[in-house]
A = this chain, B = another copy of it.
Amino acid sequence: MFDSFDSVGARGELDLIGSIRAWLGSRNPPSPEGIGDDCAVFLPPPGTQALLTTDALSYGQHFDRSVSAREAGIKLVNRNLSDIAAMGGTPDRAILCLLFGPDLAYAWLRDFVLGAGAAAEKEGLRIVGGDISRLEKGCFTSMLTVFGHSGRPLFRGGAAAGDHIFVTGDLGGSIEGKHFRFRPRLREGRWLAEDGRCTSLMDLTDGLAKDLPNLLPESLGARIDLDRVPVDPAAQRVAARQGGDAMEHAFCDGEDYELLFTVSGDTEASAFAAAWHQAFPDLRLSRIGQAVAVPREGRVLDHATGRPLPWTRGFEHFRAE
């Protein structure tokens, strides 16, 4: 990554920007829609609300040398698209900022941008501008800001007592590979927005234990049916290797990139699940519990025992030293 003969420092800004445009190909439309003027210009779909989100991916913090440049580029795009999915939205345009030391390998940068471009292409996202900037030797960081739209965005905080709590896919152990191989749940998010029975929605990035209290309004807690929490086999492998409990990993590991949402309590949960499975036969849906008025015991309780679940920590991004 940083020890190549052909490093980016041997090239000027214009050369690098030209290379990035070439690597992005059709994912970067011509100016004024894409790179080339002071701003990128586009017409937002009329009658929709605009969605803005951003996420970074840095060498040393979010990935290391065991990760290929292409995987890193794909992840930068997909973690942002997961935020658009978490609003029930559709991605439109993105701005890509790349910061790196002069010793970064040109081929590494190429594969990163090709990965990002491929992930963007898959979901119809256009990368219309950005910036490159210099960092110290040995550094690489990337930030993507995505602009999307939704006719009827879904928010956090919309649940009422009695609402069902659902989660897609399997939870925990994403460090085993899923954190680079996940698919942003865009179609599923849009389906939920159109279906009308979903009362709140987010994507799971910091672990169920940390994210669930952020989904519910402060006046609500949850009773969780542990038998229904979909523990990923990877969480079991991590637990076997590192010690601890697989269920703890399902609650506390970051980067599931699954959807966590509530459905109106007057909905028949099994009918909702049946409609879901007709739309998405290959993606597990689990009704893991129910929103309740905040119990005296704590915000997230074990449905079987009525006692608070022991896992309250999630993934902390900017950990103190």
Alpha-carbon gap, A8 to B12, bound state (A): 34
Interface residues in chain A, defined as those with a beta carbon under 8 Å from any beta carbon in chain B? 8-14, 16, 31-32, 36-44, 46, 49-56, 58, 60-61, 83-84, 86-87, 89, 93, 95, 97, 99, 102, 128-136, 138-139, 141, 143, 145, 147-148, 150, 153, 155-157, 202-203, 316-321
A258 to chain B, nearest CB (A): 13
> Are the CB atoms of A145 and B145 closer together than 8 Å?
yes
Contact of A16 among B16, B37, B318 (CB under 8 A): B318
> Are the CB atoms of A155 and B203 closer together than 8 Å?
no
> Are the CB atoms of A83 and B40 closer together than 8 Å?
no
Chain B, Cβ-Cβ closest to A201: B38
> Are the CB atoms of B58 and A51 closer together than 8 Å?
no
Alpha-carbon gap, A134 to B203, bound state (A): 22
* A145 partner residues in chain B, CB cutoff 8 A: 54, 95, 97, 145
* A320 partner residues in chain B, CB cutoff 8 A: 9-12, 102
> Are the CB atoms of A41 and B46 closer together than 8 Å?
no
> Are the CB atoms of B58 and A133 closer together than 8 Å?
yes
> Are the CB atoms of B139 and A136 closer together than 8 Å?
yes
> Are the CB atoms of B133 and A56 closer together than 8 Å?
yes
Alpha-carbon gap, A87 to B93, bound state (A): 18
Contact of A46 among B42, B46, B139, B150 (CB under 8 A): B46
